[in-house]
Amino acid sequence: GRRDYTLIVFALNTGLRNSEVIGLNVVDVNPFGTIVKELNLPALIAKNNKPRRIPLNDYIISVLGLYLFEETNLKRITGDKTPLFRSLYSNKRLGQRDFQQILDRHSINALGRHCNPHILRHTFATNLVKQADIKIVQEILGHASLQSTQVYLHPSSSEKLDAVNRLTLGHNR
């Protein structure tokens, strides 16, 4: 359903940790009836109680908009403390295990293999590091040290070949 799709796509497009995704409230992404372009991740749910800002791309803003429109029409949003992602049955905040089970079920159906929330974070980081400076990736992921972020550097064979081909050592110009 829409909740599961939004949950998975949101995690994949923000690089947030499992606990951070499920810790969000509607007000964190939609404080004044408009979806934010930059999420202010509250210290309360961020790892090491360190708040950070995560830009939201146009696609995730659109997906969140459709999800929140549906949630509003179904009268599931009851105030500022309404969890962004809730159980479909009890209206309570999803737990970390719930997120794992939702993702696992959908990944087996779509990919034929198990997947966990950290794989979404890893995929986000691996792709972002190809598009942006590693310091930007470090800040978005909330890593204290650059070493933690370097785990996501996976140069491909073609990237390595391109780099070597740009060298002109010992070659007169």
Query: Locate tokens 């997947």: which residue?
Result: 115
CB-count burial class (<10 Å; 0-12, 13-18, 19+) for 121: buried
Q: Where are the domains of the chain?
A: 2-160
The pLDDT, as a whole number, for residue 173 is: 57
Joined together, the tokens standing for residue 141 give 């992921």
Mean pLDDT across the chain = 88
pLDDT tens digits, one per residue of 57-108: 999 999 999 999 999 888 888 887 899 999 988 889 999 999 999 999 999 8
Active site residues: 17, 47, 118, 121, 143, 152
* 2-160 topology per CATH: hpI Integrase; Chain A (1.10.443)
The pLDDT, as a whole number, for residue 64 is: 97
